[in-house]
Amino acid sequence: MAIRDRLSGNEAVAVAMKQVNPDVVAAFPITPSTEIPQYFSSFVADGKVDTEFVPVESEHSAMSACIGAQAAGARTMTATSANGLALMWEMLYIAASCKLPIALSVVNRALSGPINIHNDHSDSMGARDSGWVQLYGETNQEAYDNLIQAVKIGEHPDVLLPVMNCYDGFITSHAVENIELIEDEKVKAFVGDYKPEHYLNDKENPIAVGPLDLQNHYFEHKRQQAESMMKAKKVILEVAEEFEKLTGRKYGLFEEYKMEDAEVAIVVINSTAGTAKYVVDQLREKGVKAGLIKIRVYRPFPVDEITAALSKCKAIAVMDKADSFNAAGGPLFTDITSALYGRVDGIKVINYIYGLGGRDVRTDDIAFVYDALLEIVKTGEIKSVYNYLGVRE
């Protein structure tokens, strides 16, 4: 029987960590992820977990400690946000290249400067090519569920990659919502024991982790990373199917909302999807064939599946809560248009950069985007591909 509770997103993630009971957690506080290690440290102090909790002097040290622990054969977790993720940057690549399935909860926050502690996706989007699997969640429930699945995904022998569990700072991390928790013993059974094939503390089979890797082998090792990321898509779906049998909650690579006959659609990530769904419902009542796609798995990017889901649309708006500063469009827009290119013809695609630094995104903002799409369908003309929503020009 599921356990009903009311928790913030950060508390829900800390509870998931408690239920998994990792061997090591190394962490350094930064708003708005601070609560996660704070809650978890109380579980350590109260003897509710067996975890070795390592308080460190920086986020760079946190990821370094996680790499050392995971390489030694320990199931390891941490959490961070924004500038903390940026300070981990060097170590993110090392964790991925060493094939270490660390679970990292990224509470999305604007990356300074100027200094800002509120939500956008510039932190995790900046790390999108670091070799980590990236999962995104709209709600507290999804943040909790995604972390539990992240452990099983990353540790799968076909994957062995670190996984980010991303959700919106303050909007999801601090807001309290109703949630269904899984019983402790079921979570433990779902993730199983961590039994790496190769690890530093295996004295019978000594290995090196992270050695000098020059021209003769570096390229091949990068190709192996790429292969693991390709295989991760299948594993993510297998884990989701197993998770649905356990909980009744269904997860895929992305969520399709009223896309069956949609002529216009928005593609979005995380909490803004809730606002957009409300607008879609209003438009549907008026007879407008509007739909929504909410990305859950951003790395690996589900090219074929996204293409199929969008193939019947006439116009699409991709909404990015981060800017690439390439004078052409945001990161999600770039991936969506790349996926469609050469596979689907005739769809009009535009981009909106929105919500930077925590700027409010209201229902009338989303309605404005759908109105722009409907105008494109009507006229067949795109006045501007690369747009900003809700900013004082």
Same domain, 72 and 195: yes
pTM of the model: 0.97
- Can you give the residue range of the structural domain that contains 264? 254-389
DSSP character at residue 193? -
SS3 135: strand
What angle, 0 to 180 degrees and rounded to 10, lies between the N-to-C axes of helices 184-191 and 9-20? 70
Kindly write down the DSSP assignment for every residue of 42-82, as one continuous string. HHHHTTS---EEEE-SSHHHHHHHHHHHHHTT--EEEEE-H
* pLDDT on residue 138: 98
We report the CATH number of the domain holding residue 83 as 3.40.50.970
Please report, as a single letter, which amino acid is at residue 190: F
Tell me if 266 sits within 8 A of 277, measured CB to CB: no
Distances (CA, A) of 253 to 79, 184, 208, 232, 306: 23, 26, 35, 11, 9
Same domain, 228 and 312: no
SS3 322: coil
Per-residue pLDDT, averaged over 185-210, amounts to: 95
Same domain, 55 and 125: yes
What's the pLDDT band for 23 if we cut at 50, 70, 90? very high
**Number of residues assigned to the chain:** 393
Tally of structural domains, the chain: 2
What's the pLDDT band for 2 if we cut at 50, 70, 90? confident
Same domain, 28 and 61: yes
What's the pLDDT band for 139 if we cut at 50, 70, 90? very high
What's the pLDDT band for 184 if we cut at 50, 70, 90? very high
Of 225, 247, 269, the domain-final residue: 247
| Tokens encoding 82 | 């924004």
Q: In what order do the strands lie in the sheet with 254-257?
A: 254-257, 290-295, 264-269, 315-320, 348-354, 386-389
* pLDDT value at 1 more than 90: no
Residues 266-298: b if buried by 16+ CB within 10 A, e if exposed: bbbbbbbbebbbebbeebeeeebbbbbbbbbbb
* pLDDT on residue 243: 98
- pLDDT exceeding 90 applies to what percent of the chain? 99
Same domain, 181 and 87: yes
Neighbours of 362 (CB within 10 A): 11
User: pLDDT tens for residues 319-338?
Assistant: 999 999 999 999 999 999 99
Per-residue pLDDT, averaged over 293-321, amounts to: 98
End-to-end CA distance of the chain: 53
Of 215, 247, 279, the domain-final residue: 247
What's the pLDDT band for 277 if we cut at 50, 70, 90? very high
User: pLDDT tens for residues 153-180?
Assistant: 999 999 999 999 999 999 999 999 999 9
Per-residue pLDDT, averaged over 44-65, amounts to: 98
